[in-house]
Amino acid sequence: MKPISSPVPESRRRNRVARFLRDDRASITVVFAFCMSMMIAVMSIALNMIDGATSRARAQWAGDIAGISASWNSQRFKTVYGNDLMQWRKDARAYYDANMPTGFMNITMQASDFNATMTQNSAGARVVSVSTTSTLHLLAPVVVDNNTSNAGSSSAADPTALGPNPTVSTTNQITFQPKGSIELVMVLDNTGSMADSIGGGQSKMDALKAAANTLLEKLTNTDVETYIGIVPFTTTVNLTGGLLGSGTWMAQDAFAYNHTNVAMTPSPDGTVAGWGGCAAEPRTSDTHYLYPNAYSPGDSMKFTPYYYNVPQTGMQVRNYTDALCGTPASTQSAPVMGVPLTIGGGRVNYCGFSPQGAGIGSVYDKLSSAKSTTKVTQNADCIANPVTFLTNDVNGKLKPAISRMSPNGSTIVPGGLLWGWRMLDSDWSQQSAGVNNGWISDDKTLPRPETTLGLHRVLVVLSDGENSVGSANTVPADNYFNGLSGVGSNDISAPTIARSDGTPLIGGKVENSTDLNTFQLGVCSAIKASGVTVYTITFGSVSSAAMSTMRNCATTGNYLPAPTNDQLDAAFDTIANNLSTLRLTQ
């Protein structure tokens, strides 16, 4: 049995250590141990950096592949919300997991740390973003422990600051723009002032026709699917050939103001002219409120036929012998109880009225000797030139429609805007509303659904002046008979539209340009909120109020003043170039 050694005294141990440290071999051993420790630390850091950089690159690559694949996959979904969005996100995560399964390259990620978003911009493009935050489990032991750090928008953690389990963040954004299509409606002023000269021997209407035809050629000379519609307007818009008067959008036989000799269909003897194609905006039955809505053919609020007629009590015709308001003729005509009527050489509500011409037109003062006469039917002031629905037939439909435009009548811009908007609203397609209720077209899908990928909806409105219903004492009086306030009413009450002082537009009047401008701005806001891009053009010399209204009506940056013919050409060139730029990004 081996004897048990006695413990080495503490003093002897200290002496041995001291002798060892004084020995050169001890110094070398200490230095070697220190160097080895540093080498191991450096190697660990290097391995971690390589591991981290490789894993991060793979994670970013997987995120990019998921984003690109999800962008392409977005074509399968009609919307960017609800169940479509939920399923699309599941697909996006599946794309990511296929390239970066959980645990692959020591990276793990919680379900809540994968985020995929999809939106649709005004140009109809899908904007997709995929971002991830995952945990990297390093292969090499950590000798130098630093704080975890996240990177910026496109890569992951800082490779020089890897902690024991650093996070790896990736993000990307992809814009998927399929082959685009354009639906554009030109809302064009056809009022009497368009007959004025703009210089160079041309009238404003001549210049407008030339510029509009040039725009047609530029927009349709491309491989991008382009459909163009035209809405001529005065105080009314004529829908003949665009919508059937028998459709669900129209209230039938709505002639409450005075039904004498007025109807939707003409009579064989010609006494009843029949509906001429113009319509009045829907109003609430109790308060008679107007709303800046596109509506739909199936909406409970219906449009009514526009028509003119004398008051229910009739129109008194007063004849004068020598001068208007002079000596009354010995023989007076009986009151006219309904259209048609023949007028000439006189004025409405004129003799003895203050102000002259005011009111709905209960008296017609005329000279008995007047030889120039005009026949007035229920379609008086219904603009003759009808709308042209969306088409790509430039020579067969669009150019002839522009050629038919003729200046006549007063100006109510919001009426034209509303019908231009409806020409771009898919609720008015035959596919949505039914064959006899939607826009008449060989393509029943027009206008296309707003969620159609690549669809860009554009409205161009041109006017040469401020909203104005012209002078009084005419038959009809435009402020009481128009497509906005309707038949026998000059009231504009729109509770959802605010005046400049913040109060609702209640009790507004058609003859008040400020009220009309206010209503127009409300319409423009609604149109832009629906995703339509709005361009506005003022042509010729216009008032500051008209310029302000049209500037605020346009989508930001899209107001194009055109005081001269050359500037009108430039304005249409700008629109064509802007839409061409859109096409190049597709």
Query: Do 260 and 217 share a structural domain?
Result: yes
Query: Do 265 and 343 share a structural domain?
Result: no
Beta bridge partners of 41: none
pLDDT at 127: 87
- % residues pLDDT > 90 (the chain): 59
* 216 Rama class: left (phi>0) / alpha (psi -120 to 50) / beta: alpha
DSSP string of 331-363?
Answer: S-PPPB-SS-EEE-SEEET-TT-SSTT-SS--E
Q: What is the DSSP code (8-state) at residue 303? A: B
Q: Where a domain ends, among 324, 346, 377? A: 377
Residue 143 lies in a domain: yes
**Interval 168-179 mean pLDDT:** 79
pLDDT at 22 over 90: no
Residue 364's Cβ-count burial label (10 Å; 0-12, 13-18, 19+) is buried
- What's the pLDDT tens digit per position in 467-503? 998 666 789 999 999 999 999 999 999 999 999 999 9
pLDDT at 43 over 80: no
Contact at 8 Å (CB) between 165 and 137? Answer: yes
pLDDT band of residue 146 (cuts 50, 70, 90) is: very low
Dist CA 470 CA 477 (whole Å): 9
Residue 31 lies in a domain: no
**Full-model pTM:** 0.75
Q: Where a domain ends, among 176, 194, 221? A: 176
The one-letter amino acid at 579 = L
pLDDT at 21 over 80: no
pLDDT band of residue 144 (cuts 50, 70, 90) is: very low
- What's the pLDDT tens digit per position in 263-273? 999 999 999 99
Query: Do 242 and 218 share a structural domain?
Result: yes
Residue 32 lies in a domain: no
Lowest mean pLDDT among 13-17, 135-139, 158-162, 353-357: 158-162
Instruction: Measure CA 316 to chain center.
Output: 48
∠ CA 358-491-305, rounded to 5°: 100
pLDDT at 194: 97
Q: Where a domain ends, among 324, 355, 377? A: 377
Residue 456 lies in a domain: yes
Query: Do 185 and 134 share a structural domain?
Result: no
Query: Do 185 and 172 share a structural domain?
Result: no
Query: Do 210 and 125 share a structural domain?
Result: no
pLDDT at 62 over 60: yes
pLDDT at 142: 47
Contact at 8 Å (CB) between 305 and 263? Answer: no
Dist CA 313 CA 65 (whole Å): 76
Query: Do 530 and 393 share a structural domain?
Result: yes
Residue 18 lies in a domain: no
pLDDT at 79 over 60: yes
Query: Do 447 and 336 share a structural domain?
Result: no
**Interval 276-300 mean pLDDT:** 96
pLDDT at 51 over 70: no
pLDDT band of residue 511 (cuts 50, 70, 90) is: very high
Residue 6 lies in a domain: no
The one-letter amino acid at 109 = M
Cα-based distances in Å from 247 to 189, 190, 430, 498:
27, 27, 11, 33
The domain tally of the chain equals 3
Smallest Cα–Cα separation from 337: which of 320, 316, 358, 357? 316
Query: Do 188 and 172 share a structural domain?
Result: no
Dist CA 341 CA 373 (whole Å): 10
Query: Do 172 and 190 share a structural domain?
Result: no
Dist CA 298 CA 378 (whole Å): 27
- What's the pLDDT tens digit per position in 199-244? 989 999 999 999 999 999 999 887 789 999 999 999 999 999 999 9
pLDDT at 505: 98
Cα-based distances in Å from 232 to 66, 107, 344, 384, 551:
49, 64, 28, 9, 20
Lowest mean pLDDT among 46-50, 107-111, 426-430: 46-50
Smallest Cα–Cα separation from 209: which of 383, 398, 381, 421? 398
Residue 24 lies in a domain: no
Contact at 8 Å (CB) between 496 and 504? Answer: yes
What is the pLDDT of the chain when averaged over all its residues? 87
Smallest Cα–Cα separation from 348: which of 448, 182, 242, 476? 476
CATH of the domain at 536: 3.40.50.410
pLDDT at 106 over 80: no
pLDDT at 250 over 90: yes
Query: Do 283 and 188 share a structural domain?
Result: yes
∠ CA 343-371-258, rounded to 5°: 10
Q: For residue 37, give the 3-state DSSP assignment.
A: helix
**Interval 545-556 mean pLDDT:** 97
pLDDT band of residue 583 (cuts 50, 70, 90) is: very low
**Interval 168-197 mean pLDDT:** 89
DSSP string of 192-244?
Answer: GGGGSEEETTEEHHHHHHHHHHHHHHHHHSSSSEEEEEEEEESSS-B-TTTS-
Terminal alpha carbon distance of the chain: 95
**Interval 131-158 mean pLDDT:** 55
- What's the pLDDT tens digit per position in 389-443? 999 999 999 999 999 999 999 999 999 999 999 999 999 999 999 999 999 999 9
Dist CA 533 CA 559 (whole Å): 11
Q: Show the tokens assigned to 313.
A: 């009590």
Residue 346 is part of which domain span? 310-377
pLDDT band of residue 306 (cuts 50, 70, 90) is: very high
Contact at 8 Å (CB) between 467 and 191? Answer: no
Residue 15 lies in a domain: no
Dist CA 256 CA 310 (whole Å): 12
- What's the pLDDT tens digit per position in 359-382? 888 999 999 888 888 999 999 999
Contact at 8 Å (CB) between 411 and 467? Answer: yes
**Interval 509-532 mean pLDDT:** 97
Query: Do 201 and 187 share a structural domain?
Result: yes
pLDDT at 572 over 70: yes
- Highest-scoring range by mean pLDDT, 50-59, 107-116, 147-156, 251-260: 251-260
pLDDT at 5: 55
pLDDT at 20 over 60: no
500 vs 24, residue with greater confidence: 500
Please name the residues in contact with 65: beta carbons below 8 A apart, sequence gap of 6 or more: 95, 96, 99
pLDDT band of residue 584 (cuts 50, 70, 90) is: very low
